[in-house]
Amino acid sequence: MGRKKVSVNDRARQMVAQEAARIIVDQGIQDFHIAKLKAADRLGLNNRGSLPGNREIQQAVSEHHQIFGRESHFDLLLSFRRTALAAMEILSPFRPRLVGPVLNGTAAINSAINLHVFSDTPELIAMKLDENSLRWRSYERRLKSRRDHAETFAGYQFHHDDLEIEATVFPIDGMRQAPISPVDGRPMLRANSSAVRKLLEPTD
């Protein structure tokens, strides 16, 4: 009896993860917590024991792209990564790093390109965007620098090649330690320009 209960619970988690992935891809929601609550509500599975973790949802998003996207999703990623590289070249004085869905391959058509840039004076990023005639708006983002400690960072949102880019500004010594990923609780993966260029190389 106990075994059957676990199996049913696992199936419920899987269903919520798949529905959350569909919501993330179709609606462009980037907050996994919001997506899984919407998914659970839509499926009538509001028991917290049935809610999947963020890593399960990320895996479901990857599987969704593999099943429904395939070549079109591959082309989408190439487009995002080319634009990311172009934006990184503009912001090269600030040692930009690509992070998030465009790096890990789970980006959907509504995703933003997420960059981390480094300066002890955030306003310098705004000046660089102005120099390149890029209209921007500022934002603040709260990220965990350690498991038990969160900090607020300035950021600038702008468009390049008609794609949305969010550049979050860290102090220069912030290069040594990436913030904690909300997906798996580990330091976020960051890729410099050279690493992004490699992602654009043909795999054949």
- Per-residue CA distances from 126 to 55, 82, 135, 149, 167 (Å): 34, 22, 9, 27, 10
The residues near 78 (Cβ < 8 Å, ≥ 6 apart) are 200
**3 has pLDDT over 50:** no
**pLDDT tens per residue, range 27-56:** 767 777 788 788 888 888 766 566 888 778
Greater pLDDT, 6 or 140: 140
* Mean pLDDT of the region 153-160: 97
Tens-place pLDDT, residues 113-129: 999 999 999 999 999 99
pLDDT above 90 as % of the chain: 49
- pLDDT computed for residue 47 by the predictor: 62
The dihedral built from the CA positions of residue 200, 182, 136 and 129, taken in this order, carries a sign that is negative
